[in-house]
Chains A and B, each alone.
Chain A
Amino acid sequence: EADIYQTPRYLVIGTGKKITLECSQTMGHDKMYWYQQDPGMELHLIHYSYGVNSTEKGDLSSESTVSRIRTEHFPLTLESARPSHTSQYLCASSGPGEYYEQYFGPGTRLTVT
Protein backbone atom coordinates (compact mmCIF):
# COMPACT_ATOMS: atom_id res chain seq x y z
CA GLU A 1 0.00 0.00 0.00
CA ALA A 2 1.33 3.39 -1.02
CA ASP A 3 2.07 6.02 1.61
CA ILE A 4 1.22 9.25 -0.10
CA TYR A 5 -0.97 11.87 1.47
CA GLN A 6 -2.82 14.91 0.27
CA THR A 7 -4.51 17.68 2.22
CA PRO A 8 -7.08 19.01 2.19
CA ARG A 9 -9.29 16.38 0.59
CA TYR A 10 -11.94 18.95 -0.26
CA LEU A 11 -11.63 22.71 -0.54
CA VAL A 12 -14.20 25.34 -1.45
CA ILE A 13 -12.75 28.79 -1.80
CA GLY A 14 -13.64 32.16 -3.29
CA THR A 15 -12.14 33.73 -6.37
CA GLY A 16 -8.86 35.55 -5.86
CA LYS A 17 -7.70 33.59 -2.82
CA LYS A 18 -4.24 32.06 -2.62
CA ILE A 19 -4.26 28.34 -1.94
CA THR A 20 -1.68 25.62 -1.36
CA LEU A 21 -2.43 21.96 -1.88
CA GLU A 22 -0.19 19.72 0.19
CA CYS A 23 1.33 16.42 -0.91
CA SER A 24 3.67 14.23 1.11
CA GLN A 25 5.08 10.74 0.65
CA THR A 26 6.99 8.51 3.04
CA MET A 27 8.46 6.12 0.47
CA GLY A 28 11.63 8.10 -0.18
CA HIS A 29 10.74 8.49 -3.85
CA ASP A 30 12.70 11.09 -5.79
CA LYS A 31 10.12 11.50 -8.54
CA MET A 32 6.84 13.24 -7.80
CA TYR A 33 3.99 14.43 -10.00
CA TRP A 34 0.85 16.53 -10.04
CA TYR A 35 -2.06 15.62 -12.29
CA GLN A 36 -5.26 17.54 -12.93
CA GLN A 37 -8.41 15.55 -13.49
CA ASP A 38 -11.24 17.41 -15.19
CA PRO A 39 -14.94 16.55 -14.84
CA GLY A 40 -14.71 14.36 -17.95
CA MET A 41 -12.37 12.12 -15.93
CA GLU A 42 -9.25 12.50 -18.11
CA LEU A 43 -6.01 13.10 -16.21
CA HIS A 44 -3.31 15.46 -17.40
CA LEU A 45 0.20 15.95 -16.06
CA ILE A 46 0.75 19.55 -14.91
CA HIS A 47 4.00 19.39 -12.90
CA TYR A 48 6.73 16.93 -12.00
CA SER A 49 9.96 16.82 -10.08
CA TYR A 50 13.05 14.59 -10.23
CA GLY A 51 14.13 15.49 -6.72
CA VAL A 52 14.96 18.33 -4.38
CA ASN A 53 15.14 21.71 -6.15
CA SER A 54 13.90 20.17 -9.41
CA THR A 55 10.55 21.20 -10.90
CA GLU A 56 9.26 20.91 -14.46
CA LYS A 57 6.04 21.77 -16.24
CA GLY A 58 3.95 18.94 -17.62
CA ASP A 59 1.93 18.45 -20.76
CA LEU A 60 -1.01 20.60 -19.68
CA SER A 61 -0.37 24.29 -19.13
CA SER A 62 -1.28 25.35 -15.61
CA GLU A 63 -1.25 28.64 -13.72
CA SER A 64 -0.19 26.78 -10.59
CA THR A 65 3.36 26.57 -9.30
CA VAL A 66 5.18 23.90 -7.32
CA SER A 67 8.22 23.65 -5.10
CA ARG A 68 10.42 20.79 -3.88
CA ILE A 69 12.47 21.78 -0.89
CA ARG A 70 12.29 18.38 0.78
CA THR A 71 12.21 14.96 -0.85
CA GLU A 72 8.97 13.98 0.83
CA HIS A 73 7.04 17.19 0.19
CA PHE A 74 5.70 18.57 -3.13
CA PRO A 75 3.14 21.35 -2.58
CA LEU A 76 1.15 23.02 -5.34
CA THR A 77 0.18 26.70 -5.10
CA LEU A 78 -2.37 28.85 -6.87
CA GLU A 79 -1.67 32.54 -6.27
CA SER A 80 -5.14 33.69 -7.25
CA ALA A 81 -7.81 31.05 -7.59
CA ARG A 82 -10.40 31.29 -10.36
CA PRO A 83 -13.49 29.20 -11.17
CA SER A 84 -11.57 27.68 -14.10
CA HIS A 85 -9.26 26.07 -11.52
CA THR A 86 -12.12 23.95 -10.20
CA SER A 87 -10.94 20.37 -10.61
CA GLN A 88 -9.49 17.38 -8.82
CA TYR A 89 -5.74 17.48 -8.24
CA LEU A 90 -3.88 14.19 -7.79
CA CYS A 91 -0.35 13.87 -6.51
CA ALA A 92 1.82 10.84 -7.29
CA SER A 93 5.32 9.53 -6.70
CA SER A 94 7.44 6.78 -8.19
CA GLY A 95 10.74 5.00 -8.03
CA PRO A 96 13.76 6.16 -10.03
CA GLY A 97 13.27 4.44 -13.39
CA GLU A 98 10.64 4.52 -16.13
CA TYR A 99 9.80 0.98 -15.19
CA TYR A 100 8.27 1.93 -11.88
CA GLU A 101 4.58 2.50 -11.40
CA GLN A 102 3.32 5.73 -9.94
CA TYR A 103 1.51 5.67 -6.63
CA PHE A 104 -1.26 8.19 -6.20
CA GLY A 105 -2.59 10.10 -3.24
CA PRO A 106 -6.32 10.39 -2.52
CA GLY A 107 -6.63 13.70 -4.37
CA THR A 108 -7.86 17.18 -3.51
CA ARG A 109 -11.18 18.24 -4.95
CA LEU A 110 -11.01 22.00 -5.40
CA THR A 111 -14.04 24.20 -6.03
CA VAL A 112 -13.55 27.90 -6.69
CA THR A 113 -16.70 29.96 -6.39
Chain B
Amino acid sequence: AQKVTQAQTEISVVEKEDVTLDCVYETRDTTYYLFWYKQPPSGELVFLIRRNSFDEQNEISGRYSWNFQKSTSSFNFTITASQVVDSAVYFCALRGGGADGLTFGKGTHLIIQP
Protein backbone atom coordinates (compact mmCIF):
# COMPACT_ATOMS: atom_id res chain seq x y z
CA ALA B 1 0.00 0.00 0.00
CA GLN B 2 1.12 3.52 -0.68
CA LYS B 3 0.91 6.41 1.71
CA VAL B 4 1.77 10.10 1.71
CA THR B 5 2.07 12.02 4.96
CA GLN B 6 2.01 15.77 5.22
CA ALA B 7 2.34 16.30 8.93
CA GLN B 8 1.90 20.06 8.81
CA THR B 9 -1.82 20.77 8.65
CA GLU B 10 -1.42 24.54 8.60
CA ILE B 11 1.53 26.91 8.44
CA SER B 12 1.31 30.66 8.90
CA VAL B 13 4.24 32.95 8.14
CA VAL B 14 4.77 36.60 7.45
CA GLU B 15 5.46 37.69 3.90
CA LYS B 16 9.09 37.39 2.75
CA GLU B 17 9.86 34.56 5.16
CA ASP B 18 11.09 31.25 3.78
CA VAL B 19 8.86 28.27 4.41
CA THR B 20 9.30 24.52 3.94
CA LEU B 21 6.45 22.09 3.44
CA ASP B 22 7.25 18.52 4.43
CA CYS B 23 6.22 15.38 2.58
CA VAL B 24 7.05 11.81 3.58
CA TYR B 25 5.96 8.87 1.47
CA GLU B 26 5.75 5.10 1.71
CA THR B 27 5.84 2.69 -1.20
CA ARG B 28 7.21 -0.75 -1.99
CA ASP B 29 7.68 0.10 -5.63
CA THR B 30 11.19 0.69 -6.94
CA THR B 31 9.87 2.98 -9.66
CA TYR B 32 7.51 5.73 -8.61
CA TYR B 33 6.72 9.36 -9.22
CA LEU B 34 6.22 12.21 -6.80
CA PHE B 35 4.23 15.37 -7.42
CA TRP B 36 3.37 18.65 -5.79
CA TYR B 37 0.13 20.47 -6.51
CA LYS B 38 -1.17 23.85 -5.38
CA GLN B 39 -4.86 24.43 -4.64
CA PRO B 40 -5.73 28.13 -4.37
CA PRO B 41 -9.06 29.24 -2.86
CA SER B 42 -10.68 28.99 -6.30
CA GLY B 43 -10.44 25.21 -5.96
CA GLU B 44 -8.54 23.92 -8.97
CA LEU B 45 -5.39 21.86 -8.52
CA VAL B 46 -2.35 23.35 -10.22
CA PHE B 47 0.55 21.08 -11.09
CA LEU B 48 3.91 22.33 -9.76
CA ILE B 49 6.50 19.58 -10.20
CA ARG B 50 7.08 15.90 -10.93
CA ARG B 51 10.06 13.90 -9.71
CA ASN B 52 11.01 10.33 -10.69
CA SER B 53 12.30 7.86 -8.12
CA PHE B 54 15.52 7.36 -10.07
CA ASP B 55 16.33 11.06 -10.23
CA GLU B 56 17.34 12.52 -6.87
CA GLN B 57 18.55 15.78 -8.30
CA ASN B 58 17.02 18.72 -6.50
CA GLU B 59 15.22 21.33 -8.52
CA ILE B 60 14.81 25.07 -8.30
CA SER B 61 12.23 27.11 -10.17
CA GLY B 62 12.29 30.76 -9.26
CA ARG B 63 11.33 31.05 -5.59
CA TYR B 64 10.37 27.38 -5.42
CA SER B 65 12.74 24.52 -4.71
CA TRP B 66 12.29 20.83 -4.04
CA ASN B 67 14.50 18.48 -2.04
CA PHE B 68 14.05 14.78 -2.84
CA GLN B 69 15.82 12.31 -0.54
CA LYS B 70 15.17 8.61 -1.09
CA SER B 71 17.10 7.69 2.05
CA THR B 72 14.48 9.39 4.20
CA SER B 73 11.55 8.94 1.76
CA SER B 74 10.98 12.65 1.73
CA PHE B 75 10.13 15.19 -0.96
CA ASN B 76 10.08 18.60 0.69
CA PHE B 77 9.05 21.87 -0.91
CA THR B 78 10.55 25.23 0.00
CA ILE B 79 9.24 28.66 -0.93
CA THR B 80 11.83 31.40 -0.60
CA ALA B 81 10.75 34.98 0.14
CA SER B 82 7.10 34.00 0.40
CA GLN B 83 4.38 36.23 -1.01
CA VAL B 84 0.70 36.61 -0.19
CA VAL B 85 -0.17 34.99 -3.54
CA ASP B 86 1.50 31.81 -2.31
CA SER B 87 -1.35 31.32 0.15
CA ALA B 88 -3.05 28.05 -0.80
CA VAL B 89 -3.32 24.41 0.13
CA TYR B 90 -0.37 22.39 -1.13
CA PHE B 91 -0.63 18.68 -1.81
CA CYS B 92 2.11 16.13 -2.17
CA ALA B 93 1.15 13.05 -4.21
CA LEU B 94 2.63 9.69 -5.16
CA ARG B 95 2.09 7.42 -8.12
CA GLY B 96 3.61 3.95 -7.90
CA GLY B 97 4.59 1.62 -10.68
CA GLY B 98 1.46 0.26 -12.27
CA ALA B 99 -0.89 2.48 -10.31
CA ASP B 100 -3.41 4.54 -12.17
CA GLY B 101 -4.38 7.27 -9.79
CA LEU B 102 -2.47 9.48 -7.44
CA THR B 103 -2.23 8.91 -3.71
CA PHE B 104 -2.47 12.29 -2.05
CA GLY B 105 -1.38 13.56 1.32
CA LYS B 106 -3.91 15.48 3.38
CA GLY B 107 -2.46 18.80 2.30
CA THR B 108 -0.81 21.70 4.07
CA HIS B 109 -2.71 24.96 4.31
CA LEU B 110 -0.15 27.74 3.85
CA ILE B 111 -1.10 31.22 5.01
CA ILE B 112 1.15 34.11 4.07
CA GLN B 113 0.33 37.19 6.09
CA PRO B 114 1.20 40.64 4.71
Interface residues of chain A, those whose CB is within 8 Å of chain B, are 2, 31, 33, 35, 40-45, 48, 50, 56, 58-59, 88, 90, 92, 98-99, 101-107, 109
Contacts and interface: CB of A to CB of B under 8 A. Distances in A.
B107 A98 contact: no
A109 B43 contact: yes
Smallest CB-CB A-B distances: 10 pairs: A45-B101, A104-B45, A106-B44, A41-B107, A43-B104, A107-B43, A42-B106, A101-B47, A48-B100, A101-B50
A48 B101 contact: yes
Contacts of A35: 101
A11 to B, nearest CB: 13
B52 to A, nearest CB: 7
Given A41-B89, A109-B43, A101 B35 contact: yes
Nearest to A88: B43
Given A42-B106, A101-B35, A107 B100 contact: no
Interface stretch (B16-24, B59-67, B71-79, B91-99): B91-99
Nearest to B89: A41
Interface centre among B37, B47, B101 (most CB of A within 10 A): B101
